[in-house]
Amino acid sequence: MADFFYGIQTLFEDYLFAPLHALRGMDSWWGANTLNWIFMLIGSVAFVYWMGQLKKFNDNNEERKDVTGHSYL
């Protein structure tokens, strides 16, 4: 059973995290943080999209404004 978990450890440490280890060893701060900037850009775009959707539903009065979120009527 221990061999199974050691196999998973080898998979992640030697293969799947290899690109991240390469980024960590870079001399350039901008190059090493490229992945972080990409994730921040994706999160910002998703946030703007989500706010646009909320505004669209709010303008059409489709948003439920009761406190509990449940409608029993």
Beta carbons of 23 and 35 less than 8 angstroms apart: yes
Look up residue 70 and give its amino acid: H
Better-scored residue on pLDDT, 12 or 63: 12
pLDDT of 7 above 80: yes
pLDDT band at 32 (very low <50, low <70, confident <90, very high): confident
* Amino acid 26: pLDDT: 85
pLDDT for position 15: 95
Mean pLDDT of 9-21: 92
Domain range annotation of the chain: 1-27, 33-63
Give per-residue pLDDT as tens, 42-64: 999 999 999 999 999 888 877 66
Q: Which residues contact residue 31 at a Cβ distance below 8 angstroms, ignoring those fewer than 6 apart?
A: 23
